[in-house]
Amino acid sequence: MNKLDVPPGRIFRDGWTVSHGGVVDVPEPATGAVLTTVGVADPADIRAAAATARAAQREWAAAPATERAQVCYRAAGLLETHNAQVKEWLIREGGATASKAEYEIGAVLAELRVAASLPTRPHGHLLPAEPGQRSLARRVPLGVVGVISPWNVPMLLGLRAVAPALALGNAVVWKPDLRTPVSGGYLPARIFEEAGLPTGVLQVLAGGQDTGAALVADPDIAMIAFTGSSRVGRLIGEVAGRGLKRVSLELGGNSPLLVLDDADVDAASSAGAFGAFFHQGQICMAASRHIVLADVADEYVDRLVKRAQTLRVGDPWTDRVDLGPMIDDRQADRVESIIRDSVALGASVATGGGRRGRFHEPTVLTGVTPAMPAFTEEIFGPVAPVTVARTEQEAVALANQTEYGLAAAIQTGSVARGLALAEQLDAALIHINDQTVNDTAFAPFGGRKASGNGSSHGAEQNSEAFTQWQWLTMRDTSKPFPV
């Protein structure tokens, strides 16, 4: 089986070419070893890529729907064929464990197959019309979609926008994060190249802040789909708004897990451990605040601590581990700082808290209050802060005491009780007797408040996100007007 070779030191602009921004090493977070080099795009590369994409888009949109569908189907097949290579990149470049990499590949396959179904769905309505006139409304592509994706789930969080945008007839200019440029952009570019996507329709250019700013401001970009921090999302919204561009903003989270006094505490602690520690907690939907009713708080903490203490931390490529490294030193420093500052304000470390380079122990904090950064901040690390509530009403108030509104979960012995509480939570994604890290290609996904501007992803939402209405009328012969 031939590998999908990604040419080192290049960007994917009208094929593999030398960038204006030079090259950068791609390090392995676990070891610091250089895995490869990639090209870095600068604003001039973005300008050229956007112009080329705009020129290529019209022909791609005019291609038969079945042809656009087949490209996505073939991409899914190639991903299955090259599963082992993609898995290695997700593990070594992004610090993922094997189970996280397998989960991500499965989710990407689902996104590609859902995208393949989009071109052949009905895309318009026949409207009431005057005698002798036909009137219809149809969904048409936006043009060129700019996608800016993060490092934490790099392939999925890029392709869930890229794949449906392409399938619906748009061209795409994609800027992956420089920390995961191969698994998060250049490897998918090779997959689409092998799948037969015409040259110019997809451009992949990794880069830094200036590259992203150029993409957002470019006059040929009709929409920006961004996944990342709320701070950057607000800036993108401001710039894109001045250009009257459509924006899809999938931003941060500080998701609560509520454990009620009738919950199966052992099951709840399992959900809490997975939600807090999966992929080292580097997920926007992570269970970031464990809000537990007082009657079961001691038992919950005891079981959560025992689960955390069984988890293995190490190099996910060479060892069988449950947690790999943090993505870089800066992120590890930030997690350490949040723990230290929260302890200084009265929180206690029930287990963990230690760090060896980029490897951070799974940590359970108790005595956490709304005055502490472990409660207010999006930690993005393997930390489970536990806050005790005396009543359901207090638990709901604590859950809603955040600027974010992404995910939430409720553990309870009564689904009816869980549904009643769900009605009171300011969250877009709520899971009863489950954990917070849930995602599927078929469900609407998007945050409220500082977590985003609504649901753009999901089988039924993709058409609304990546196309626009066009009203078209026609007459067999022209009619006279009173002028």
> DSSP per residue over 448-480, as a string?
EETTBSS--BSTTTHHHHHEEEEEEEEESS---
Question: What does the alpha-carbon distance between residue 475 and residue 452 come to, in Å, rounded to a whole number?
Answer: 43
Are 43 and 21 in contact by the 8 Å Cβ rule? The answer is: no
Count of Cβ atoms closer than 10 Å to residue 312 Cβ: 12
250 catalytic residue (yes or no): yes
Decide: helix, strand or coil at residue 385. Answer: strand
Q: Which of 238, 210, 167 is CA-nearest to residue 21?
A: 210
Ramachandran quadrant class, 18 (left: phi over 0; alpha: psi -120 to 50; beta: rest): beta
> Given 93, 111, 193, 250, which residue is catalytic?
250
How distant, in Å, are the alpha carbons of 178, 202, 249, 404 from that of 454? 27, 25, 8, 12
Question: What does the alpha-carbon distance between residue 121 and residue 129 come to, in Å, rounded to a whole number?
Answer: 24
Q: Which of 240, 235, 209, 211 is CA-nearest to residue 223?
A: 240
> Given 72, 104, 284, 361, which residue is catalytic?
284
Helical (H) or strand (E) element with 271: helix 265-277
Show which residues are catalytic.
250, 284
